[in-house]
Amino acid sequence: MRFVEVWNLLWFVPIGGAILALYILRLRRRRVEVPAILLWTQVVQDFQANVPWQRLRKHWLLLAQLLAGLLLVFGVAQPYTRAWIYSGEAHVLVLDGSASMLATDVSPNRFEQARAMAREYIQKMPPGDQAAIVLAGARPRVLCGLTYNRTELLRTLKNARPAETGMNFAESLALAGALVTPFAAPSIEVFTDGGFPEPRDIDTGRARVQYHTVGNPAENAGIVAVDLREDRDAPGRFDLFAAIRHNSARERHGTVELWRGDNLIDAQEVTLPPKSEATVLFRQLIPAERPDELRVRLDWRDALACDNTAYAVLHPVREVKVLLVTRGNLFLETALNLHPRVVVRKVASPPTAETASLYDVVVFDNVQPSSPPTGGAVIIGELPEWFPVVPLKPVENSVVVDWQNTHPIMRYVDLASVRLNKATPVLPKPGAETLMEVNEGAVMVSVQKSNRRWLLITFDITSSDLPLRVAFPVMMLNALRWLTAPLESGERGLVTAGGLAIIPVPGEHQKIHLRLPDGHTTELSVQDQMAPFEDTLQTGIYRCTETGYLFAVNLTQREETDLTVNRYTSQAPSGISAGMKKVLARREWWQWLAGIALAVLLLEWIMYHRRW
Amino acid sequence: MTPVGENPLLEASFLQRLQRLQLLVRRPLPGQWKGEHRSPKRGYNVEFADFREYTPGDDLRYVDWKAYGRLDRLYLKQYVEEEDIYVLLLVDCSRSMRFGQPSKLLFALQVASAIGHIALCRFHRVGAGLIADGKVLWMRPVRGKQSLIPLLRFLGTPPEATGTALHQSAQQVVTGWKRRGAVYLLTDLMDERWDTALRTLLAPRHELTLIHTLSPQEIHPDLMGDLLLVDSETGETREVSLSPTALSLYQRALQQMRDHASALCGHFGGNYLLADSSQSLEHFILREMRVRGVLA
């Protein structure tokens, strides 16, 4: 026998103690004067309160009360056994906990209505049926596994909280389906506003999917994208970009405000045509010495509040120290020096590990690194043995045939028809990503290993026409940016709600504390100078207490801002096998214990009045 | 508890109605003067009682000469003697008697006054004793209607007492009251040795009428739950948890006490009456006591 809430057994200590104390202590009796106690003496012999401890001897009432208390405590601990049983219906209640469920088009909001519907569904479930609750969101979570216990289900439902995140409905539905795989004819009940694309081809096994739709179509406008980029015309200054989506059939005017900390620093009038999207740009924001909180706010009220504000963090600009190990490469030096924030120091021989650790990036131009670099590194024209690639046969006069244009290094880069005089193609091992290819294999590979990032160019760039292309300085600047940022999100400090935030933690911290937008603090473990945090369920600014690092979490989900209510029809799976199936399920015994406890109490009551 | 002194024991109209009644005393009791009760003595009344042989010195007027003619022996005709009787009113004045609404003591004193008035009207000698703390406060026997006022005055001022000690009081009664007579004992019997006291009183062959005076709170106690009972006389306490079952046990104990007292009185030729102090005095005197053969 196991217990759901084993710690509740400890309640027997105070309860049993209280029962004993009540027996030990004398009752406070009402004082009544009678003419004489002559006749009462014959009656009261059995009822006299004697010396305290004597009452405990052979006292059936006390034993009965202690037994009843013990049974009740066992019941509260919810003992259960696992047994093969013929299952009744199994239900999975999928509760939409995404941001759109916070819309107030219905009172008090869509989530509360969905909660009420789910509660009613649980209360009307036939006896013998079991149910589970899944909270759907950016990452679906099983709030309560399959159980017959209605009280536990209702309690779990009461404690469910929506998040200011998007919705991954396919994953939620798949998770719900997996919960009821062993059952013959389960059902998945989705309580949602339908604010997601129509689900198709989601394998839910034999489960029938039933939608319970809440909410009404409501007008809403919100910020669906926000980004902070360095101004191309003014290095060291940043532009804040925000996209605003409007789902109403009417035109809307309003003001978009930019707040820096507690100060309103800019505002722009916007006019949003019906069902349109507009962008605003706040230009040339100058970073301070410390990270600054930026807030873009729409000055109107609508059904959904959490998408009316977007957050960003303006990090201070710092110099990028680059150590160039080369015997001379004009193209490379020029490209690296193009950016005013990059400080390049040139040496001819490979640096020691201690020297290399002083620089953000070490560029090895036709020089073999003595050991794997501990930070960012670019290795050109050499193939270290420890690099996760397999060298292939060198080739001559090859042409670049493909490049990974979605990679940050390859952003705005066009490598079409770049010719390589000599190159050694390689085959990337797991962990390495191909960025540039010739017919025979990869010639540019990136590796990201915890907080270390390396870029390998397998050919001598001076024996190609790459340095002559516009793409070369752009690619090198992208490379420097990628190599110096531990992670993309960490650099810009922008995370989509529900997404993973990687917090860089320089120094020797083993644990850090993260202050959430609502003021609560959570503790995170640090590994390889990084602390992953995935519970980005609130929009706003998150602050690391130890390092002062800030990052912003924004909803920026078009599906959530668009408060359209989609009423999807139920889906019945094909080939349902009818009938009962034997499944291994949890059988709870608390009802029996509660019944026995009541019987014992009844017996105790009878004993009390019969004076046994 | 109602102060006894503030209540007139008997009203004038009720006293007039009592004059028609008389005490029913079954056994012949010796008296002192002529009265209305048949005496064990032989006298010279109109009602024939017996014959006895003539002895010198007897009054020749009562010789049955017809018998002498037939039997040639002198026989004397004897007639029933009617004398007064000694009536003793004993009232328990312990603190337990002051309980009830109205007070048991008031009721007992009223009953005693009524019996005394009836006895005085029939020219009996009436004495009274107020029992308290094992002692007896006596009033010497009086006779005649004119003695009603002193009797009422005596009964109207009961002593302040705590305990009963009924058996000790009974001993004092037996030693202090030598005349056989009709004894009316009004008490709640709330004494551990009440049966000893009754045997002591019954031993001199008094005709004892026990009027067991109880309040309705004692006959049907309205108590329930966890209580601390305090004895009004001794201050002794008992912790009890009363339930319907416990109350039924109490009723059984009370009934056993009544049965025992009644049997004891009956065995010695006495009477037993239960008096509920909440009932009206008229009802008790004019109906209950007549039905139970104490008054006629």
Does the distance separating the beta carbons of A609 and B239 come in below 8 Å? no
Q: How many helices (H) and strands (E) does chain A have?
A: 13, 35
Look up residue A245 and give its amino acid: R
Is the CB of B226 inside 8 Å of chain A's CB atoms?
A: yes
Measured CB to CB, residues of chain A less than 8 Å from chain B are 26-27, 29-44, 47-49, 608-611
CA pseudo-torsion sign A574, A575, A581, A584 = negative
* Tokens representing residue A589 in the block: 């015994």
pLDDT 10s digits, A373-384: 888 899 999 999
Q: Which of A97, A73, A101, A93 shows the shortest CA–CA distance to A15?
A: A73
Does the distance separating the beta carbons of A37 and B229 come in below 8 Å? yes
* Tokens representing residue B206 in the block: 């008094």
Token pair 């029809």 in the structure block, residue: A569
- Quote the pLDDT of residue A158: 94
The closest CB to that of A29, out of B227, B243, B246, belongs to: B227
What whole-number distance in Å separates Cα of residue A63 and Cα of residue A59? Answer: 6
A135-144, A388-397, B71-80, B277-286 — which is least confidently predicted?
B71-80
Mean pLDDT in residue range B277-281: 89
Q: Give A158→chain B minimum CA distance, Å.
A: 43
* Tokens representing residue A439 in the block: 């017919």
Q: Which of B93, B94, B103, B102 shows the shortest CA–CA distance to B234?
A: B94
Look up residue B3 and give its amino acid: P
Mean pLDDT in residue range B233-239: 81
How far is C-alpha B153 from the chain's CA centre? Answer: 19
Q: Which residues of A touch B104 (CB under 8 A)?
A: 35
What whole-number distance in Å separates Cα of residue B292 and Cα of residue B81? Answer: 27
Q: End-to-end CA distance of chain B: give it in Å, rounded.
A: 32
pLDDT 10s digits, A7-33: 888 888 888 888 888 777 655 677 888
Does the distance separating the beta carbons of A36 and B244 come in below 8 Å? no
Q: Give A15→chain B minimum CA distance, Å.
A: 23
Does the distance separating the beta carbons of B253 and A36 come in below 8 Å? no
Q: Yes or no: say if A222 and A555 are a contact pair by the CB < 8 Å rule.
A: yes
Show which of residues 236-275 on chain B sit within 8 Å of chain A, judged by CB atoms.
Answer: 236-246, 249-250, 253-254, 257
Phi, psi of B47 (to 5 degrees): -90, 115
Does the distance separating the beta carbons of B239 and A48 come in below 8 Å? yes
Show which of residues 141-170 on chain B sit within 8 Å of chain A, judged by CB atoms.
Answer: none
The total of other beta-carbon atoms located within 10 Å of residue A358's CB is 12
- Quote the pLDDT of residue A448: 85
What whole-number distance in Å separates Cα of residue A368 and Cα of residue A325? Answer: 10
* Tokens representing residue B125 in the block: 């000698």
Q: 3-state DSSP: chain B helix, strand, coil percent, rounded to 5?
A: 40, 30, 30
The total of other beta-carbon atoms located within 10 Å of residue A434's CB is 19
Token pair 């390998």 in the structure block, residue: A456
The closest CB to that of A43, out of B104, B191, B253, belongs to: B253
* Tokens representing residue A609 in the block: 């009045």
Sequential DSSP letters for B28-50: ----SSEEEEEEEEEEEEEEEEE
Q: Yes or no: say if B91 and B109 are a contact pair by the CB < 8 Å rule.
A: yes
Q: Which of B105, B26, B36, B83 shows the shortest CA–CA distance to B271?
A: B26
Q: Which residues of A touch B99 (CB under 8 A)?
A: 34-35
Report whether pLDDT(B48) > 80: no
Q: Which residues of A touch B240 (CB under 8 A)?
A: 40, 43-44, 47-48
What whole-number distance in Å separates Cα of residue A463 and Cα of residue A475? Answer: 17
Q: Which residues of B touch A42 (CB under 8 A)?
A: 249, 253
Torsion of CA A32, A36, A39, A43, to 10 degrees: 30
DSSP collapsed to 3 states, B49-96: EEEEECCCCCCHHHECHHHHHHHCCCEEEEEEEEECCEEEEEEECCHH
The closest CB to that of B229, out of A26, A32, A608, belongs to: A32
* Tokens representing residue B58 in the block: 């007897």
Partners of A321 in the β-ladder: A343
* Tokens representing residue B261 in the block: 């007292």
What whole-number distance in Å separates Cα of residue A575 and Cα of residue A572? Answer: 9
Pairing of strands A90-96, A187-192: parallel
At residue B118, the 3 state secondary structure works out as helix
* Tokens representing residue A367 in the block: 């020089």
Sequential DSSP letters for A124-151: TSPTT-EEEEEEESSS-EEEEEEES-HH
Q: Which residues of A touch B192 (CB under 8 A)?
A: 38
pLDDT band at B31 (very low <50, low <70, confident <90, very high): low
Q: Which of B103, B101, B155, B99 shows the shortest CA–CA distance to B131?
A: B155
- Quote the pLDDT of residue B3: 41
What whole-number distance in Å separates Cα of residue B232 and Cα of residue A581? Answer: 76
Q: Yes or no: say if A307 and A555 are a contact pair by the CB < 8 Å rule.
A: yes
The whole-number mean pLDDT for each consecutive block of 10 residues of chain A, a chain of 612 residues, reads: 82 86 70 82 57 51 86 87 69 92 91 93 82 91 90 92 89 87 84 84 80 88 88 83 89 91 92 89 88 90 90 85 92 88 89 85 91 87 90 92 89 90 92 92 88 88 92 91 63 80 82 93 86 90 90 89 83 50 70 89 79 48
Phi, psi of A547 (to 5 degrees): -100, -15
Mean pLDDT in residue range B62-67: 84
What whole-number distance in Å separates Cα of residue A427 and Cα of residue A487? Answer: 25
What whole-number distance in Å separates Cα of residue B60 and Cα of residue A299? Answer: 146
Token pair 């600047």 in the structure block, residue: A477
What interface predicted TM-score (ipTM) does this complex get?
0.74
Pairing of strands A187-192, A208-213: parallel
What whole-number distance in Å separates Cα of residue A20 and Cα of residue A39? Answer: 32
- Quote the pLDDT of residue A153: 92
Mean pLDDT in residue range B167-189: 86
Does the distance separating the beta carbons of B240 and A47 come in below 8 Å? yes
Identify the residue among A26, A27, A28, A29 best suited for mutation to test binding to B, counting B beta carbons within 10 A and taking the highest: A29
- Determine the Cα angle at A580 with ends A578 and A583, to 5°: 130
Q: Yes or no: say if A513 and A545 are a contact pair by the CB < 8 Å rule.
A: yes
Q: Which residues of A touch B225 (CB under 8 A)?
A: 30
Burial of B46 (0-12, 13-18, 19+ CB in 10 A): exposed
Exposure letters A504-538 (e unless 16+ CB within 10 A, then b): bbeeebeebebebbeeeeeebebeeebbebeebbb
| Alpha helices for A523-575 (secondary structure H) | 558-561
HSE value, Cβ hemisphere, 13 Å, CA-based, for B135? 8
Does the distance separating the beta carbons of B96 and A35 come in below 8 Å? yes
Torsion of CA A514, A519, A522, A524, to 10 degrees: -10
Q: Yes or no: say if A501 and A552 are a contact pair by the CB < 8 Å rule.
A: no
DSSP state of A317: P
DSSP state of B158: P
C-alpha distances in angstroms, B141 versus A165, A442, B30, B106, B150? 110, 144, 15, 22, 11
Does the distance separating the beta carbons of B253 and A34 come in below 8 Å? no
Show which of residues 66-105 on chain B sit within 8 Å of chain A, judged by CB atoms.
Answer: 95-97, 99-100, 104
Q: Yes or no: say if B256 and B14 are a contact pair by the CB < 8 Å rule.
A: no
Q: Which residues of B touch A49 (CB under 8 A)?
A: 239
Mean pLDDT in residue range B161-175: 82
Average pLDDT, chain B: 82
